[in-house]
């Protein structure tokens, strides 16, 4: 797991968690609120299944459950359940990761 911290002018710090093992990589953007979501766009452009806050710009960028996943940073149980569901589904259906990855790329190129 790698945590990438971006310092945006000393006012905003954003942590993006990128996790990769032999078969699964994803991006997690756990901000409480994100006005636009450039980091989300960058992760999706790389084809990473992306989990991002449902508050702000990412809610308009990601089609929940299709091109990524909305998480509510105020509800840890729900967010962890979505992550668990993703991993479980990837383990049972190896093509699922590619499905989300391709949908995220398509979503970015459509916009």
pTM of the model: 0.79
Q: Is the pLDDT of residue 80 over 90?
A: no
Q: Is 52 helix (H, G, I), strand (E, B) or coil?
A: strand
Q: Is the pLDDT of residue 96 over 90?
A: yes
Identify whether the C-beta of residue 76 lies closer than 8 Å to the C-beta of residue 98: no
Average pLDDT of the segment spanning 67-82: 91
Q: Is the pLDDT of residue 104 over 80?
A: yes
Tell me which of 69 and 91 has the higher pLDDT: 69
CA distance 57 to 35: 5
CA distance 78 to 84: 10
**Predicted pLDDT of residue 1:** 44
CA distance 2 to 52: 16
Tell me which of 35 and 16 has the higher pLDDT: 35
């Amino acid at each position: 797991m790698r945590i990438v911290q971006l310092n945006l002018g000393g006012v905003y710090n954003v942590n993006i968690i990128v996790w990769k093992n032999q078969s699964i990589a994803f991006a997690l953007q756990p901000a409480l609120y994100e006005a636009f979501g450039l980091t989300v766009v960058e992760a999706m452009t790389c084809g990473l299944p992306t989990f991002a806050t449902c508050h702000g710009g990412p809610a308009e960028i990601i089609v929940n459950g299709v091109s990524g996943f909305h998480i509510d940073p105020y509800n840890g149980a729900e967010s962890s359940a979505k992550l668990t569901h993703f991993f479980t589904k990837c383990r049972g259906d190896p093509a699922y990761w590619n499905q989300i990855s391709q949908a995220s790329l398509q979503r970015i190129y459509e916009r």
